[in-house]
Amino acid sequence: MPMVRISLPAGKDAGFAKGVSDAVQDAMVATIDVPAADRFHVIADYPAGRLVIDPTYLGIERGAGALIIEITMRGGRTVEKKKALYRAIADNLHARFGVRRQDVMIVLTENELIDWSFGNGEAQYVKD
């Protein structure tokens, strides 16, 4: 049930955006037990000055192609699974598109079952 937001620098084509989405989805399926069909992604690109990513924070040298992936998901995954997810996303993007691993920022936000409605104004995961 993760909700993924992908923020890209402007100038990337639709194929790249879809490919990043695919790379993230494949990593989530492989590492944190997300069903393949459980896919909810929002992708946006930003012109210069609208996607501000520090080029050297924590000693990591980031380039102009840096991007941010935000994943909101139900809590409960282990530290090991989260670390595996980070590695898999960076590795997938590097292997498929040559994105530098240093240019991939990932932020996880966890919540509870009651925090999700998939339609009809209902909390499908919460039984009354």
**Does residue 128 lie within any of the structural domains?**
no
- CA-angle at 27, arms to 109 and 95, nearest 5°: 125
107 or 48, greater pLDDT: 107
Q: Which pLDDT band holds residue 36 (cuts at 50, 70, 90)?
A: very high
The domain containing residue 107 runs over which residues? 3-115
**Does residue 126 lie within any of the structural domains?**
no
**Does residue 123 lie within any of the structural domains?**
no
Domain count of the fold of the chain: 1
Catalytic residue among 2, 35, 47, 55: 2
What percent of the chain is modeled with pLDDT above 70? 100
pTM of the model: 0.93
Span 60-87, average pLDDT: 97
Alpha-carbon distances, residue 55 vs 43, 95, 102 (angstroms): 22, 22, 10
pLDDT of residue 61: 97
**Does residue 120 lie within any of the structural domains?**
no
Domain with 15 in it: what CATH number?
3.30.429.10
pLDDT digits (tens, 9 = 90+) for 45-63: 999 999 999 999 999 999 9
Structure tokens given for 127: 């039984």
Active site residue 35: no
**Does residue 121 lie within any of the structural domains?**
no
| Nearest-angstrom CA–CA distance, 51 and 22 | 22
| Nearest-angstrom CA–CA distance, 51 and 24 | 19
**Does residue 48 lie within any of the structural domains?**
yes
pLDDT at 1 over 90: no
CB 70 within 8 A of CB 109: yes
**Does residue 125 lie within any of the structural domains?**
no
